[in-house]
Amino acid sequence: MRLLPTQFLDVVWFARERLGFEPDEAQTALLRAAAPRVILNCTRQWGKSTIVAILAVHHLCVASPQSLAVIVSPSQRQSAEMLRKVSGFCRRAGLAISGDGSNRFSLLLENGSRAVALPGNEATIRGFSAPSLVIVDEAAMVPDAVYRAVRPMLAASREGRLILLSTPRGRHGFFHAEWTSNRPWHRISVPASRCPRIAPEFLEEERASLGDMAFRQEYECEFADAREQLFSRELLSTALSKDHSAWNV
């Protein structure tokens, strides 16, 4: 196994010099974050999967050799797409990769680290133990049962990381619960207005086309009520309140 230069320890240097990727301010903050639990609530087209794929490559080849990274998403296709990004960045960094010989959607590095992409299916993910990195992509659409099956994977990893990334999808499910909880997550929120790659003119067009509620959810990182819901959660909460003064009638 080849020894890597000490500069590789700097993940931002790694992204710029080895991968040719220039992170913006918010992406740099994510790369610098060292917290074991990270949750990204970001606009569409910010580059969530891309920047987390860079984190995964750095983790596998530098930060934690001979480790396992598990990628979970709502579907096998989506998980495989992130693995493809990880694979592409590995090649760009000059790292030799192959399949791990056991899993169809996987890669193995020369240092013994590997990554496996799995669908959002509770039954198919329980056979993996002690990963040092677990990534849940499009987390707002992953079933709660899958999330409950994923978390115990990290029980034996003293320094295992869990990264949730998604655009909101209503005020329900574990992604919303974790984002609004008081648990010690490192939270990063990036609305479209803070993404230098999205033009204001495009956002104006999207707001007019999608409507205010959908726009706020897709581009402003808000957990909006479902479109089909007749009454908002706030209105239902007020109606069920025992404090009749809250009805304001």
* Whole-number pLDDT of residue 122: 84
| Domain edges within the chain | 6-247
pLDDT score recorded for residue 62:
83
| Other residues' Cβ atoms within 10 Å of the Cβ of residue 145 | 13
Q: Say whether pLDDT at 112 is over 70.
A: yes
Choice among 42-46, 63-67, 115-119 with the minimum mean pLDDT = 63-67
| CA dist., res. 41 & res. 36, Å (int) | 17
Q: Quote the pLDDT of residue 72.
A: 96
Residue 187 parent element (H or E): strand 186-190
Quick one: pLDDT at residue 237? 43
Q: Per-residue pLDDT tens for 54-103?
A: 999 999 988 788 899 999 999 999 999 999 999 999 999 999 999 998 88
d(CA 217, CA 228): 14
- Reported as a single tens digit per residue, the pLDDT across 158-207 is 678 999 999 999 999 999 999 999 999 999 999 999 999 999 999 999 99
Q: What SS3 state is found at 38?
A: strand
Q: Which is it for strands 114-118 and 106-109: parallel, antiparallel or unpaired?
A: antiparallel
- Record the pTM: 0.86
Polymer length in residues for the chain = 249
Is the model's pLDDT at 246 over the cut of 90? no
- Per-residue pLDDT band for 124 (boundaries 50, 70, 90) equals confident
Tokens for 169, please give them: 């999808």
Which two tokens mark 49?
């999967």
pLDDT band at residue 5 under the 50/70/90 scheme: low
Query: Of 91-95, 127-131, 146-150, which range is least confident?
Result: 127-131
In angstroms, rounded to a whole number, what is the distance separating the alpha carbons of residues 138 and 143?
Answer: 11
Residue 105 pLDDT greater than 90, yes or no: yes
Report the C-alpha gap between 35 and 16 in whole angstroms: 22
CB atoms within 10 A of CB 10: 15
Percent of residues in the chain assigned helix, strand, coil, to nearest 5: 45, 15, 40
Pairwise CA distance, residues 139 & 29, whole Å = 20
pLDDT in the model for residue 128 = 81
For 22-35, write each residue's pLDDT tens digit: 999 999 999 999 89
pLDDT in tens, 229-240: 444 444 434 454
State the average pLDDT over residues 111-127. 87
| pLDDT-based confidence at residue 6 (cuts at 50, 70, 90) | low
CATH of domain 6-247: 3.40.50.300
* Tokens standing for residue 161: 């990381």
